[in-house]
Amino acid sequence: MKTDIEIAREARLENIAGIAEKVNIDLNEIHNYGKYIAKIPVKLIDEEKVAKSNLILVTAITPTKAGIGKTTTSIGLALGLQRIGKNAIVALREPSLGPCFGMKGGAAGGGYAQVLPMEDINLHFTGDFHAITSAHNMITALLDNYQYRNRGTDKYLKEVVWKRVLDVNDRNLRHIVTGLNGSENGAPAESGFEITPASEIMAILCLSRDLEDLKRRIGNIILGYFANGNTFSVADLEVAGAITVLLKDAINPNLVQTTENSPAIIHGGPFANIAHGCNSIIATKMAMTHADFVITEAGFGADLGAEKFFNIKCRKAGISPKLTVIVATTQALKMHGDVPLEDIKKKNIEGLKKGFDNLDKHIENMRSFGQTVIVALNKYGFDVDEEIELIKDHCEKQGVSFALNESFAKGGEGAVSLARAVISQIESNPSNNLSFTYEERDSPKVKIEKIAKQIYGAGSVVLSAKAKKKLVQIDKLGINHYPVCIAKTQYSFSDNAHAYGTMKGFTLTINDIVINNGAEFIVAIAGNIMRMPGLPAEPQAKQIDIINGFVEGLS
């Protein structure tokens, strides 16, 4: 089979104006970036239309290192719906340059279910991540300057909690000391860089209603504390307006097309392990304004992405999916059935069966939100019928629909049965009203415990002394009502990346808590999850090249 980039290159792209027209987006309002990409202004969102649209969430079982194919399935489902005559838009996150040049590769789908132009989407795209990086680091520069100018006075902050971000995998930047070499070069300070998808500004952009709301939230970001414990915010630094100016274009979602020329909206890119992992509310609502069916994804396994999608994004946006698709692969199921990594592509009925526990826990979790569930098996060439039948039977026993997703190899045609299953469920058996895992009035500690126990299957939660101190601070700030965003490894229900399958009764350790007062949630850091990834021994960058004007090595 051809590589992703070969397929992308052979696709016949339509001018983006034609794509916009298909879903009645006003051509005078869009802002082109070349022939095939456009930004759509926030003001085109129509809440009445949003309320009438059918939202579908695509999530997954606990992933392997290779991923599950959630984005490919999301795009494939949109293609399948188009094939059966439905009006559908897929609403995705933007890829990050860090993993794209590191291990994971791009994030624009795969095979015959991609969003295009994939080279641009996987690289700088419309500059949204760069705008976020600039905005974040501009705040830091202004804050360091504030500290520099106020050293020795009572305006000086005793504690600074704002760091820096770059859209790159660079472990050396995790812990740094700045301001060295004499007083004209600033004051020595501990700092560090996180990857741009972990920036609070990314979360804010993804949760904001409009530019005014964005500016209000930017102003609310807590940068540090005075000796007397009082907070110091971006508004106190008097630069909320300037920072918002840097995001004036980034707030508008991006329109592109799929390999079969249907519209796709791509906007925002928080990772679900270290952040809330969903595309922007603005993008989802923009898609819902313009299509009867909107497919969106939540990052990594359903314990991470989908939990945050429901408890944070849906709660805040007032939206609710008609249906949740859980994507699985035979490889990942076998891995959860204790089959060694090197053997997961081989037939192994016993290993597969043993891995069903992981799937079942995700089904149970999605049902706890009131969701109707469909399991989509993302089919690989080495999958055998016997294994597929086994998974299908298992799903039927659980009372959930099952469908194959073959869009990677076959495009929309490969997702027609999945699309039909989706429509059938939405028509006959749509999800109930959302039930959340916790209520806003629950204390942060209770929220963490409810997620840990009900969603992860933990027996208990242990908080570090540092985390406990933060809970006191949160109480003092009067923000106990904020939702909780748990940063945790994507490879396990637990905080141990090597504990596959399902786990019962384990202890989840919360090492730190970070207040995101602009995003209006608190981040609880479980185990030793890193907010700045490193590069592997053989980075993907070595495969990337440009030859005769054609980009090679992106996937």
Provide the annotated binding site for ATP: 64-71
Number of residues this chain uses to bind a copy of itself (CB under 8 A)? 73
Q: Is residue 20 at the binding interface for a copy of itself, with CB under 8 A as the rule?
A: no
Known binding-site residue numbers: 64-71
In whole angstroms, the minimum distance from the beta carbon of 192 to a copy of itself comes to: 9
Segment lying near a copy of itself (by CB under 8 A), choices 33-41, 423-431, 474-482, 503-511:
33-41
Residue 449 touching a copy of itself (CB under 8 A): no
- Contacts (CB under 8 A) with a copy of itself, residues 506-535: 534-535
Q: Provide the minimum distance between the beta carbon of 498 and a copy of itself in the complex, in angstroms, as a whole number.
A: 15
Tell me how far apart the alpha carbons of residues 306 and 164 are, in angstroms, rounded to a whole number. Answer: 28
Choice from 168, 373, 467, 523 touching a copy of itself (CB under 8 A): 168
The Cβ of residue 397 has, within 10 Å, a number of other Cβ atoms equal to: 10
Please check whether residue 376 is in contact with residue 403, taking contact to mean a CB–CB distance below 8 angstroms.
yes
Piece of the chain touching a copy of itself by CB under 8 A; list 70-78, 166-174, 367-375, 496-504: 166-174
Candidates 238-246, 286-294, 340-348, 419-427; binding stretch for a copy of itself (CB under 8 A): 238-246
Least distance from C-beta 552 to a copy of itself, angstroms? 8
Q: Looking at beta carbons only, is 138 or 388 nearer to a copy of itself?
A: 138
Cβ count near 46 (within 10 Å): 14
Contact 20, 89 (CB under 8 A): no
| Rounded (10°) angle between helices 200-207 and 211-220 | 150
- Considering only residues 244 to 303 of the shown chain, the ones binding a copy of itself according to CB under 8 A are 244-246, 248-249
- 324, HSE (Cβ side, Cα atoms, 13 Å): 30
Least distance in angstroms from the C-beta of 442 to a copy of itself = 34
Do residues 74 and 57 touch, judged by C-beta distance below 8 A? no
Find where tokens 């053989």 sit.
538
Report whether 235 contacts 248 (CB < 8 A): no
Q: 57-66 burial by CB neighbour count: b if 16+ within 10 A, else e? A: bbbbbbbbee
Minimum gap (Å) between residue 5 Cβ and a copy of itself = 11
Q: Would you count residue 159 as binding a copy of itself (CB under 8 A)?
A: no
Q: Which is nearer to a copy of itself, 177 or 462 (CB)?
A: 177
Residue 239 binds a copy of itself, judged by CB under 8 A: yes
Residues within window 298-327 making contact with a copy of itself, judged by CB under 8 A: none
Q: Which is nearer to a copy of itself, 18 or 34 (CB)?
A: 34
Nearer to a copy of itself, 241 or 459 (CB): 241
**C-alpha closest to that of 251 among 288, 276, 277, 280:** 280
Which residues within the stretch 111-140 sit at the binding site for a copy of itself (CB under 8 A)? 123-124, 127, 130-131, 133-134, 137-138, 140
235 binds a copy of itself (CB under 8 A): no
Q: Beta strand pairing status for 222-225 and 159-160?
A: antiparallel
26 scored as a contact of a copy of itself (CB under 8 A)? no
Shortest reach from residue 178's CB to a copy of itself, in Å: 4
CB of 320 to a copy of itself, least distance (A): 31
CA 237 vs CA 209, 221, 223, 476: distances in Å: 23, 10, 9, 22
| Gyration radius (Cα) of the chain, Å | 23
Nearest to 399 by CA among 427, 423, 366: 366
166, 255, 463, 515: which one contacts a copy of itself (CB under 8 A)?
A: 166
If the CB atoms of residues 201 and 366 are measured against a copy of itself, the closer one turns out to be 201
**34 is a site residue for a copy of itself (CB under 8 A):** yes
| Closest alpha carbon to 69 in 266, 328, 260 | 328
Q: CB of 21: closest distance to a copy of itself in angstroms?
A: 17
Residue 64 token pair? 């392997």
Strand (E) or helix (H) holding 284: helix 281-290
Among residues 2, 149, 151, 504, the one that binds a copy of itself under rule CB under 8 A = 149
* Chain residues 89-108 in contact with a copy of itself, contact rule CB under 8 A: 97, 101
Asked whether the beta carbons of 322 and 77 are under 8 A apart, the reply is: no
Report the residue number, 244 or 365, with the smaller CB distance to a copy of itself.
244
User: Looking at 175, 468, 469, 504, which residue binds a copy of itself (CB under 8 A)?
Assistant: 175
Rounded to the nearest 10°, the torsion over CA 448, 453, 457, 463 is 50
Binding to a copy of itself (CB under 8 A) within 179-218 occurs at 179-181, 184-187, 189, 191, 211, 215
Question: Which residue matches tokens 């305006």?
Answer: 155
Instruction: Give the whole-angstrom CA distance, residue 274 versus residue 254.
Output: 24
The whole-angstrom separation of Cα 165 and Cα 532 is 9
- Comparing CA positions, the residue from 385, 330, 391, 389 lying closest to residue 360 is 391
